Amino acid sequence: MLKTLSKASRAPLLVVGVGCAGLLISDVSNAQVSMEYGADLRYRYEWFDIDETSKASTIRLGLKAKANVGDYFSGFAEFEAVEQFNDGYNVPTVPDQNKPGYPVIADPSGSEMNQAYVQYADPAGLLQMRAGRQEIMLNNGRFISTSGLRQNHQSFNGFTLTTVPVAGLKLEYGYLNRALRVLGERASNGRADMDSHFYNLGYQIDNLGTLKTYGVLLDYDSEPTNSVDTYGVRFEGGSPMAGWQLLSTLEYAIQRDAGHNPNHVDAEYQLLELGFQVSDIAYRAGYNLLSGESLTNKFITPLSHSFNSLTELFLVNPSVGDNHGLEVFSVNAAGKVPGVDALTFLTVLYDYNADTGDAHYGNGLDLMLEYKGLSKTTISWRLGRYWADELNDDATRTSLYLAYSF
């Protein structure tokens, strides 16, 4: 939350951003200037067991400041710091937090500038442009995400544009030249320089839902095997019926190798979810495919956060022996707990299989409760349980966090 007080990276990109801010302020030197400040705290205890057990007790502090110049221009900065209360877990690419034998919990200690950008925004919401370091969430986060469940959020150096040229039609475009990962700047893989682009075009269809087409074109400087072009279509449906609502999500994407990727990649992604909502609870059944034909020819999502399990065991599309790719069947229920509007829940059951090969990877369960009945405060509990068959070992990851904004 930001409070208003009224009054009368990649270094080259940040320098350009500061320069742009100066030019904008110069052009609107007679405009009203106001400052907004805010902060948030999030304490989390996380427990992860797979053969051995890791325990992480951490707190995140976010400090925010926004300068509004007139009706159209602004600058925003967010500083984040993560502190450990114990070190009984493994962050393998951070030298002083590498604890061999402990399972990985990706919450290293450290501090950095998470966001720092200048913005032009039309008050009517028809056009927004940002240049600098910023968090980006594309659709549901499957291809570009802030990874907000981790204490150190993922952000990007780049330029983004959002425009609504006609009613019901929304266009997003972005250029990215650095990803700042959740592992932080001290990690050997905490930064990834790139020359990447994305676009997302969505059209609202009355009483049916939103149809989208998108492209995520990744070209990494020093991680060429992550360089892939992904093109997809997505439909998010919600059709009201008498006393209930029909829900659907349909998505299909193809992926090809790009840039200097030495691997041949010809892969696809499929998502099908069908369900209904009655009162405040939604019920869905789903099918999700990340295709795979070999160790190198498979669908990848290097800028995503974890999907298909709160255990985070499927951050990477698996390959084991002659079995490749991931096919997931799921059923879930989510919504408000009856009688307690401030308390929401999520329950998901999974069945995991190989795409190529006949391996049954195992089964999973996700549970979540979140309470927002206290002013500016969120309390949340999450549990991911994995019963292994032909992949990994049995695993349990659970976390409890308390967040407060002011």
Please give the structure tokens belonging to residue 337. 């707990």
Q: Which residues pair with 174 in a beta bridge?
A: 160, 198
**Residues found in the chain:** 406
Comparing CA positions, the residue from 354, 364, 264, 349 lying closest to residue 311 is: 364
The secondary structure element, H or E, covering residue 269 is strand 266-278
CA 286 from chain center: how many Å?
Answer: 20
Please give the structure tokens belonging to residue 149. 């469940």
Each residue's pLDDT tens digit, 247-269: 999 999 999 999 999 999 999 99
**Residue-by-residue DSSP string for 5-34:** EEE---HHHHHHHHHHHHHHHHHTTTS-EE
* Domain formed by 31-405, architecture: Beta Barrel (2.40)
pLDDT of residue 27: 52
CB-count exposure of residue 301 (10 Å: 0-12, 13-18, 19+): buried
List, for the chain, all residue ranges whose pLDDT scores fall below the cut of 50.
5-26
Q: What is the Cα–Cα distance from 197 to 156, expressed in whole angstroms? A: 12
Cβ neighbors of 280 (< 8 A, separation 6 or more) are 335, 336, 338
pLDDT of residue 210: 97
Query: Is the Cβ–Cβ distance between 315 and 150 less than 8 Å?
Result: no
Kindly report the backbone phi and psi dihedral angles of residue 18, in degrees, each rounded to the nearest multiple of 5, phi listed first.
-60, -40
Query: Is the Cβ–Cβ distance between 301 and 294 less than 8 Å?
Result: no
pLDDT of residue 13: 43
Q: Which residues pair with 405 in a beta bridge?
A: 40
Query: pTM for the full model?
Result: 0.90
How many Cβ atoms from other residues are within 10 Å of residue 18's Cβ? Answer: 14
Strands (E), 135-243: 155-166, 169-180, 191-205, 209-217, 228-240
Per-residue CA distances from 82 to 59, 183, 184, 208 (Å): 6, 11, 10, 43
Comparing CA positions, the residue from 286, 287, 269, 273 lying closest to residue 232 is: 269
How many Cβ atoms from other residues are within 10 Å of residue 308's Cβ? Answer: 20
